[in-house]
Structure 1
Amino acid sequence: MSTSTTIIMAIIISFAVSVILCPIVIPILKKMKFGQYIREVGPKSHQSKTGTPTMGGMIILAGVIVTSLIFMIVEKNTKIAPVLFMTVGFGLIGFIDDYIKVVKKRNLGLTEIQKFSLQIVVTAVFCVYMIKYIGTSTIIPFTGGYEITMPTWLFVIFLFIAVIGTVNGANFTDGLDGLATSVTIIIAVFFTMVSIGTGLEPISAAFVGALMGFFLYNVYPARVFMGDTGSLALGGYVAAIAFVLKMPIFIVIVAFIYLIEVISVMMQVTWFKYTKKKYGEGRRIFKMAPLHHHFQESGYTETQVVAAFAVITAILCLIGYLGL
């Protein structure tokens, strides 16, 4: 099967699975009362979203898993296995978190320590695979493909920071209808293009298709949310595909929205704690974090913010492509 045929077939198969499952799964989630609980500290406009079915990330995962398995079995393509492992691994962590939320009807889920510990375990397995089978080299952007090889100890630290940061960045980005979905579709298209000839095309193309199908039901006003099941899986995919392609530094460029979202939260929390300790009253840098909420509180609509973030991601992906 030619590369172009592989990509097209992967997109079509995953899209079909996703778009078929959405109208089947969404009513089931509603019937089981697996609805999203919206925090009172969030934007007031989001309170109307309470009860919207969540855990829709299972649909995205289904499309990606089915498509990946087809290519792994039919074409005996095992190169996508580590990326699929990271996708499913982080997706399962998100599923556990979502399940606790909807069952206990609270917006907390796993404790920070529990979630972080599980993320460390999945990342550690991937790290061992990378060192043993892929290596510790990484491409430096805008150098014509020049690679540097890191000492193992430095690579391990770098990988853990990059993976955990990317996964949680994707998680924070999932805060508006269609935001994480639209941004990641564009990122997945980028990695589909750069993975041509590596054997990794099927899983990236599968994400493009699965997210396109899901987007039809996740766009404003969303009929289903992906939940942590989806957002953590997306982050796991982006981090894994970047490392397997030896392009982890490119994450900073093409997934800049993930990065700025998590940085905005870190800045907000750090400054609030610092000013509270020093002045007795916590102060904020942004009107609300993550960053997309700051723009909402500044008067922009959800659709405007989503469109802007998607356009920015598209431009950055073009820049990233030039940096190969």
Structure 2
Amino acid sequence: MLYHLFSYLNSVYDLPGAGMFQYITFRASMAIIFALFITLVYGKRVIVFLRKKQVGETVRNLGLAGENLKAGTPTMGGIIILGGILIPVLLFARLDNVYVILLLITTVWMGLIGFIDDYIKVFKKDKKGLRGKFKVLGQVGLGLIVGTTLYFHPEVTIKEKETESRIHTLTAQIDQGKKPVFGEAKKSIKSTIPFLKNNELDYSEVVQWFGLDGQKWGWLVYIPIVIFIITAVSNGANLTDGLDGLATGTSAISSVALGIFAYVSGSIIFADYLNIMYIPNSGEMVVFVAALIGACVGFLWYNTYPAQVFMGDTGSLALGGILATLAIAVRKELLIPIVCGIFLVENLSVVLQVSYFKYTKKKYGEGRRIFLMSPLHHHYQKKGYHEAKIVTRFWIVGIILAVVAFVTLKIR
């Protein structure tokens, strides 16, 4: 809102300082400051309110070290994260930007699903919460919205660098060799393949294998892929939320990585230097990412060991959905196994554990396990590692994975 207000004041009244709001870096800085302020100052009040309402965590008696100490700790703290994201974004982002609108919808949509799940667990005293099929239905619904918007919306475009032969035919006004030369904005469902020189995957080409027009029927491949990614990443974040600060810190690290990708993809200078596709208007997502990082860091103040509040599904499902949507929007969804590697491993550990248990039970009459317990972080708890040590080491791995993701920009 403030962007539009100060743009008006700058153009009509030439108000000193109003032009600062034209810069993404300034608005992103303000967004992260406001997000930190909201989560740190008002987060404490939310925790006190949740305690008064007796919105406490129910212990499942899994035999884990320190498990009983968590009993009664307020949950549904994801409300703090959502407030820390939404308010700064509404204040400092361009609300007419399709990517910002899509991320706002994602935040509210997944946050609402998580809130319903937490509400059932806490107030209805049903430990199972919202049934899995309804969660998946909500995730699929969001995937449809995100996939359809990114595929059909006229403002979702890319620009690719012109070939050398094409550059020589352009008008004399172009200062060749000094100014980046990109073609016209066009609709495309191309994505980036890491580590490859000609590193672009066009989903429409998959449709062409079946003899269909890729430009017309590409959505048949693209939208299901978007649905799968959003469902997988949001579930991964949900499974990761099992130790104090684990999901929050991991999400913050992944957010930094995706925020840098959004910035360089939305800058014609950096896109030219890094030889990547230029995505017009995508730089505005940096403001959203800044608020996301600020909200996660601020929430960590209360969520680190020993946690004063848990985010619950309200926060974890929202964070997973946001990260998935961000990765898809900046055409880096194939980097998700790296950027969100912690979520992936946590997800896989559960899938492998359940699958192997069922297989061995059918074959030998007795179920066997790969891990002492899943998700993976509980395996290390069972091995005797302290919770804080596990979380810190997972963060370190997350940072390493983020650095590897950055390296893919140049190693091709």
Aligned to 1:18: 39
Measured against aligned partners, the alpha-carbon deviations of 1:123-146 in whole angstroms (never above 9, x if no partner) come to 211111121133421111123683
- Secondary structure, in 3 states, of the residue corresponding to 2:258? helix
Q: Which amino acid aligns with 1:157?
A: P
Q: CA deviation at 1:40?
A: 2.3
Measured against aligned partners, the alpha-carbon deviations of 1:267-302 in whole angstroms (never above 9, x if no partner) come to 111111111222221111100000000011111111
Aligned to 1:188: 255
1:139 aligns with 2:195: no
Q: CA deviation at 1:42?
A: 5.7
Aligned to 2:127: 107
- Please say if residues 75 and 310 of structure 2, whose CA atoms lie closer than 8 Å, have aligned partners that are also in contact: yes
1:232-243 equivalences in 2 (<5 Å)? 232-243=317-328
- Secondary structure, in 3 states, of the residue corresponding to 1:200? helix
1:62 aligns with 2:102: no
Q: Which amino acid aligns with 1:87?
A: T
* Match among 143, 164, 167 for residue 123 of structure 1: 143
Aligned to 1:178: 245
Q: Which amino acid aligns with 2:368?
A: R
- Which shifted more, 2-11 or 231-240? 2-11
- The alignment of Structure 1 onto Structure 2 pairs a total of residues equal to 323
CA gap of 1:214–1:287, structure 2 versus 1, over 3 A, is same
- Secondary structure, in 3 states, of the residue corresponding to 2:284? coil
- Which shifted more, 28-37 or 193-202? 193-202
How far apart, CA to CA, are the structure 2 residues paired with 1:262 and 1:207?
23
Q: CA deviation at 1:233?
A: 0.5
Q: Which has the higher contact order (CA 8 A, sep 6+)?
A: 1
- Please say if residues 267 and 285 of structure 1, whose CA atoms lie closer than 8 Å, have aligned partners that are also in contact: yes
Aligned to 1:297: 382
Q: Which amino acid aligns with 1:141?
A: P
- Please say if residues 6 and 201 of structure 1, whose CA atoms lie closer than 8 Å, have aligned partners that are also in contact: no
- Which shifted more, 252-261 or 152-161? 152-161
Give the gaps of 5 or more residues in structure 1: none
Q: CA deviation at 1:44?
A: 5.0
- Secondary structure, in 3 states, of the residue corresponding to 1:40? coil
Q: Which amino acid aligns with 1:95?
A: F
- Secondary structure, in 3 states, of the residue corresponding to 1:79? helix
- Secondary structure, in 3 states, of the residue corresponding to 1:221? coil
Q: CA deviation at 1:23?
A: 1.0
- Which shifted more, 212-221 or 149-158? 149-158
How far apart, CA to CA, are the structure 2 residues paired with 1:79 and 1:161?
20
Aligned to 1:271: 356
1:90 aligns with 2:175: no
Q: CA RMSD in A?
A: 1.6
Give the gaps of 5 or more residues in structure 2: 1-21, 157-187, 205-217, 267-282
Measured against aligned partners, the alpha-carbon deviations of 1:16-35 in whole angstroms (never above 9, x if no partner) come to 11111211000110111111
Aligned to 1:306: 391
- Please say if residues 113 and 314 of structure 2, whose CA atoms lie closer than 8 Å, have aligned partners that are also in contact: yes
- Secondary structure, in 3 states, of the residue corresponding to 2:67? helix
Q: CA deviation at 1:121?
A: 1.3
How far apart, CA to CA, are the structure 2 residues paired with 1:106 and 1:146?
48
How far apart, CA to CA, are the structure 2 residues paired with 1:122 and 1:105?
27
1:258 aligns with 2:325: no
Length-normalised TM-score, structure 1: 0.95
Q: CA deviation at 1:69?
A: 0.8
Q: CA deviation at 1:242?
A: 0.5
Measured against aligned partners, the alpha-carbon deviations of 1:173-202 in whole angstroms (never above 9, x if no partner) come to 100000001111111111222212321101
Larger Rg: 2
CA gap of 1:101–1:42, structure 2 versus 1, over 3 A, is farther
- Which shifted more, 165-174 or 30-39? 30-39
- Which shifted more, 113-122 or 173-182? 113-122
How far apart, CA to CA, are the structure 1 residues paired with 2:299 and 2:25?
23
- Secondary structure, in 3 states, of the residue corresponding to 1:107? coil
Aligned to 1:5: 26
Q: CA deviation at 1:229?
A: 0.3
- Secondary structure, in 3 states, of the residue corresponding to 2:195? coil
Measured against aligned partners, the alpha-carbon deviations of 1:90-112 in whole angstroms (never above 9, x if no partner) come to 11100000000001223210111
- Please say if residues 24 and 287 of structure 2, whose CA atoms lie closer than 8 Å, have aligned partners that are also in contact: no
Length-normalised TM-score, structure 2: 0.76
Aligned to 1:80: 100
Q: Which amino acid aligns with 2:72?
A: G
Q: CA deviation at 1:77?
A: 4.2
How far apart, CA to CA, are the structure 1 residues paired with 2:312 and 2:63?
16
Give the helix-richer structure, 1 or 2: 1
Measured against aligned partners, the alpha-carbon deviations of 1:17-68 in whole angstroms (never above 9, x if no partner) come to 1111211000110111111112123625313211110000011000101011
- Please say if residues 138 and 247 of structure 1, whose CA atoms lie closer than 8 Å, have aligned partners that are also in contact: yes
